[in-house]
Amino acid sequence: MEPQSFPPTLPWRQNAGHRAWLTGQAEALFRFFEPKSIDPKGGFAALDSRGEPIAAETARPLHATTRLVHCFAIGMLLGRPGAADFVDHGMKAILTKHRDDRLGGYFWSFDANGPVERDKLAYGHAFVLLAASSAKIVGHPDADRLLADISETLEGKFWEASPGATREEFREDWSLFSEYRGQNSNMHLTEALMAAFEATGERSYIDKAESIAALILGRNARTAGWRVPEHYHADWSVDAEYSGNVMFRPYGYTPGHALEWARLALQLWALGGRKLAWLPDASRNLFSQALAQGWDAVHGGLYYTTEYDGAPRVRDKLWWPVCEGIGAAHFLGALEGDAETERHYRRLWDFAARALIDARHGGWRPQLDDDLTPVERFFAGKPDLYHALQACLIPLYGTEGSLTKGIQTTQG
């Protein structure tokens, strides 16, 4: 049974005790990932539920490498000793293991013998841009080189000017192997483009981010009643029949992505000089719709996916939608200051503390079944620092930009 909500008093984001608790949770996450994540052979090891490397997981995917660079750049900004070693190790892996020196772009994964999955995916390339931008914020010597290379690759290979969004996937030789278009890669590219804008001041990045938001939110999510269609044909008409990888491209709606967009929309509104005046309203609608249809009122947590009519489809509860809901609630709470958003913020953290945070072994449990029993269906072990770390730290900083920029500004 989900606990009762009490009327909010002082918002938790302003409560000194809650802020100290968030700092402690971020510290615990760093402590879980630091001891065994670096693989001397290159990249970062996948960790099991106790923080030990998973021997069978030898391929190092691009999104995992780049996200840890971003997270430990945050650690550097927080003055965390040793964080620079992680950034340097990850940057080396991106440039010498993932990068295709012959044809350009970045392979999806590698192992000790070289590239494994040689496809070049927009999703992974978006995170290369995020890693490069975060590395530039902390002054890594290879950041400018990586930022220039990934920006050229995105512009020359992935970007489609007519819809104002990115193509999805190429073979090693840059031949298209499908006409699929997806919102997930474009959403993360929006996040990365904003980070690149903050790191460089170049307006072209924010222009692209606004173009993607206009397509995904202003046209398609608005038409769908402020739910976010995931899958598209080449002409960006919705492909309601598509069903792909259950983790990255599941059938139906994904409430967690609507919550992620709710935060990114407000960040984009602020960074773009409040030019797109409809973004705050989009954020409110995305947030309320995702919680109305995605929240399990009996057990708590967010269903991973829903049918197109709003009924639960994949009833498992993953950690990252809760993390994104926390970030969205913080951004909306700072904008609105209303009691209802504060109740949602507290409810999300109550669920995370009760069901997701592993106080015994460290880290966050990534997946729970319908009755909140931990399961390993989509993942092995504890696969990710990125979502949980940002959930802990975003509420400690302002809402005028990204977390990295907020920390940098605060730290002076």
* pLDDT, tens digit, 9 for 90 and up, residues 367-379: 999 999 999 999 9
Q: Residue 119: how many CB atoms within 10 A of its CB?
A: 15
Residue 233 maps to a domain: yes
pTM (predicted TM-score): 0.96
Q: What is the pLDDT of residues 209-220, one digit of tens each?
A: 999 999 999 999
Output the CA torsion sign for 49, 51, 52, 58.
Answer: positive
- 4 within domain boundaries: no
Structure tokens at 329: 């609630």
The catalytic residue positions are 257, 387
Residue at 69 is within a domain: yes
Q: Counting Cβ atoms within 10 Å, is residue 162 exposed (0-12), middle (13-18) or buried (19+)?
A: exposed
The total number of structural domains that make up the chain: 1
Q: Are 320 and 387 in contact, with CB atoms under 8 Å apart?
A: yes
Asked whether residue 6 carries a pLDDT value surpassing 70, the answer given is: no
Query: Residue 1 has what pLDDT?
Result: 45
For the chain, the C-alpha Rg in angstroms (whole number) is 20
5 is a domain residue = no
Q: Is the pLDDT of residue 4 over 90?
A: no
| pLDDT above 90: residue 36 | yes
Residue 371 lies in a domain: yes
Domain that holds residue 254: 12-411
Q: What is the CATH number of the domain that holds 61?
A: 1.50.10.10
Asked whether residue 19 is domain-assigned, the answer is yes
Residue 196 reports pLDDT greater than 50: yes
pLDDT of residue 5: 53
**pLDDT per position as a tens digit, 78-96:** 999 999 999 999 999 999 9
